[in-house]
Structure 1
Amino acid sequence: MSVLTGAGISTDSGIPDFRGPQGVWTKNPSAAANASIDRYLADPGIRRDSWRARLDHPAWQARPNAAHLALVDLERAGLLRALITQNIDELHQRAGSAPELVIELHGTLHRAECVSCDLITPMPEVLARVTAGEEDPPCPRCGGIQKSNTISFGQALKPDVLDAALTAARSCELFLAVGTSLTVHPAAGLCGEALDAGAKLVIMNAEPTPYDPFADRVINEPIGAALPGLVKELIDAAR
């Protein structure tokens, strides 16, 4: 089994989603536009705002919830081939998911990268510079612009990461999509890849998704309660 998770799995941990009724971009549509790589690189003001926002990001205080822990149970039962995530919070790893099974499609907030020389720096080191007064801290090696080690609008996914996700989708018997609107590609297209390869599709999300008509099962219930129940059902069926 391969699993794809989106922002909806982390809302119970205090991290808001993007497109739900209370989503970050639903409440502030301009925030999505400001998330583009072109605007980030061109506008020092957006970079300064972004660094201030990173200081206060809820991911620093977030803890894994019951849904994250349920996927750890699925892994320990020997049923999980890969855990593909659109999230940047690393809550799967903190819950106990094996890092080698987690495919971070959109990168991680826990590291910073230089867009010029590709230097990777632990995010706390860069945020300490922001706290000390650097509003837009340059790369310590080349002086270039730094950003979080995440995929912004206008950036392509890293080829090796996308290849790993495609392989996981095409080689499973069941593909489970949890807490994702399935509107952002290429992540959403993984459902189609799995279906084309003959896998069954199960979708668990608060809102309808474009792939609901093709799913073998759609669950529109709170993820924190519904996913542990589904995982128990899958583990019991495999015994």
Structure 2
Amino acid sequence: MDRIVILSGAGLSAESGLGTFRDVGGLWSQYDLADVATPEGFARDPALVHAFYNARRTNMADAPTNAAHAALARLSTYPGVTLVTQNIDDLLERAGASDVIHMHGELSRALCHVCDTRWDAPREMSPDDPCPACGAAATRPDVVWFGEMPYHMDRIDAALACTDLFVSIGTSGTVYPAAGFVDRARSAGARTLELNLEASGGSFDEVREGPATELVPRWVAETLDGP
């Protein structure tokens, strides 16, 4: 089988009830991103930031996996498949995927912004939570905020440099560096495919439009079993 790099975004988990930035009336629409998704916002009001991510963590815990997660988990068991996600939820893992590269961190993990220790986050976090390593009351969600460098970029770049196929699933293609992955893969000679509710306008060789729960299982079946 070809070497495949798959990038997934919020559209992968939207049908599991986890909202995207653009959902009207959703959790994100109730907050200013500058207040809850930046280091500066955390410095101003850590209690507000923790309340926001506590709500997201509860939503994640209650969300079911969907057919798209299950299909990618099945595909991930084959050699040469690299799963990269912009999502901070754990639905791919709960569907059975292993070694998922979370470039924007994980909602289920906590980070000490004094000593950089990471650990499993409880359902509810607060600004008073001490770091288990250094004891500082400096706990934050282990997620990448606007203005911060995404995780695992060396590993992602290495995978893109030698992949045969790059697939983007459920992402708007507007947030860098992920928005540049398709061009990185194309420059390395890879074929490119977008599976999305609506085309992002990126430079893909092929675009298929529709819900992730329909497109992803169909594409995985084609890849593993043939048309």
Into which bin does the TM-score normalised by the smaller protein fall?
A: 0.7 to 0.9
Letter of the 2:150 partner, please give it.
L
Matches of 1:147 and 1:70, distance apart in 2: 32
Structure 1 residue 171, shift from structure 2 partner: 1.2
Shift of 1:53: 2.8
1:8 Cα offset (Å): 0.6
RMSD (Å), alpha carbons = 2.3
- The CA deviation string for residues 115-170 of structure 1, in whole angstroms up to 9 with x for no partner, is 0111223211x72xx5xxx5643435332321111101121123xx0111111122
Q: Which deviates further from its counterpart, 142-151 or 215-224?
A: 142-151
What is the DSSP-based 3-state SS (H/G/I as helix, E as strand, rest coil) of the residue aligned with 1:87?
A: coil
One-letter amino acid of the structure 1 residue matched with residue 129 of structure 2: P
Label 1:112 to 1:184 Cα distance change in 2 as closer, same or farther (>3 A).
same
Name the structure 2 match of 1:139: 131
The CA deviation at 1:75 is 2.8
- Aligned position for 2:11: 8
How far apart, in 2, do the equivalents of 1:152 and 1:46 lie? 15
- Structure 2: how far apart are the matches of 1:218 and 1:23? 27
Residues of 1 paired with 2:5 and 2:186: CA distance?
12
Secondary structure at 1:57 match in 2: helix
TM-score w.r.t. the length of structure 2 is 0.87
User: Would you tell me which structure has more helix in proportion to its own residues?
Assistant: 1
The answer as to whether partners of 1:74 and 1:80 remain within 8 angstroms in 2 is no
Report the equivalent of 1:104.
Answer: 102
Residues 22 and 234 (structure 1), Cα distance of their counterparts in 2 relative to 1, 3 Å cut: farther
The residue aligned with 2:178 is: 187
CA shift in 2, pair 1:51/1:91, >3 Å: closer
Matching residue within 150, 156, 166 for 1:165 = 156
Over 3 Å counting, the alpha-carbon distance change for 1:209 and 1:28 in structure 2 is farther
Identity of aligned residues (%): 35
- Contact between 1:105 and 1:187, CA under 8 Å: does it hold in 2? no
Query: CA, structure 1 residues 232+8, in 2 after alignment: closer, same or farther (shift >3 Å)?
Result: same
Rounded Cα–Cα distance in structure 2 between residues aligned with 1:37 and 1:195: 34
Structure 1 counterpart of 2:206: 217
The 5-angstrom pairing of residues 1-239 of structure 1 reads 1-19=4-22, 24-25=27-28, 27-28=29-30, 30-31=32-33, 33-50=35-52, 52-54=54-56, 57-76=58-77, 78=78, 80-99=80-99, 102-124=100-122, 127=124, 130=125, 136-140=128-132, 141-158=134-151, 161-211=152-202, 214-237=203-226
Structure 2 unaligned blocks of 5 or more: none
1:231 & 1:155 partners in 2: Cα distance? 33
- Runs of 4+ in structure 1 off by over 4 angstroms are 20-25
Alpha-carbon spacing, 1:79–1:200, altered in 2? closer, same or farther (3 Å):
farther
Rounded to whole Å, the distance in 1 between the matches of 2:115 and 2:160 is 32
3-state SS of 1:188 partner: helix
The number of equivalent residue pairs is 223
Q: 1:237 to 1:52 in 2, by over 3 A?
A: closer
User: What is the distance in 2 between the residues matched to 1:24 and 1:15?
Assistant: 9
* Residue ranges of structure 1 left out of the alignment (5+ in a row): none
Q: Residues 55-89 of structure 1: CA distance to partner in whole angstroms, max 9, x if unpaired?
A: x631111222100111122234x365200001111
Partner Cα distance (1:116, 1:199) in 2: 41
